[in-house]
Amino acid sequence: MSDEAGRRVPEDLSASWSAATADPDPLAALAASGDLARAIDRWQATLVAEAIREGATWEQIGERLGISRQAAWARFRDAVDQEGRGRMENDTAELRERIQEEVRSLRDAMRAMDDEHRQARQEAMSQIREMDRRIREERQALKERVKTTVRSLQDEYRGRGRSD
């Protein structure tokens, strides 16, 4: 059951109302009216917390209920505080979840960066090993050319010495 503002009327309030107004036995209806009064108190506390959350003052709430602002505050402050604590706990839980999600995301990004770095390092090391291998081969080839050139020059020098 909903009221005109679109609020959901609590089941216990609706059931208490039906029992208090429909039971032909006045004692049973009286007992149901006690349940109805308690359900209305809870409903009023919910509405007061909603009004405070939307910016109403304790004076405005007291006026609507026909009591002083102090009486309204004394009667409903616990409900408002409890609703505020519940909202704060929900906000805290949501914030904690967002932080955990962000931390997971950052850790994933760090792992990806580490993997990328590891792969780039492996590729660089492979290129360095290839360069070292080529340099060794080129050095070996140059050593062979030096030996060949030295022998050739020695042979040429010896050959000149014999023909002179």
Q: Does the pTM exceed 0.85? A: no
pLDDT in tens, 56-112: 999 999 999 999 999 999 999 888 887 766 666 667 878 888 999 999 999 999 999
- Backbone φ and ψ of 9, nearest 5°: -75, 125
Q: Half-sphere exposure of 68 toward its Cβ, with a 13 Å CA cutoff? A: 3
d(CA 54, CA 48): 10
pLDDT in tens, 7-55: 788 888 888 899 889 989 899 889 889 989 999 988 899 899 889 889 9
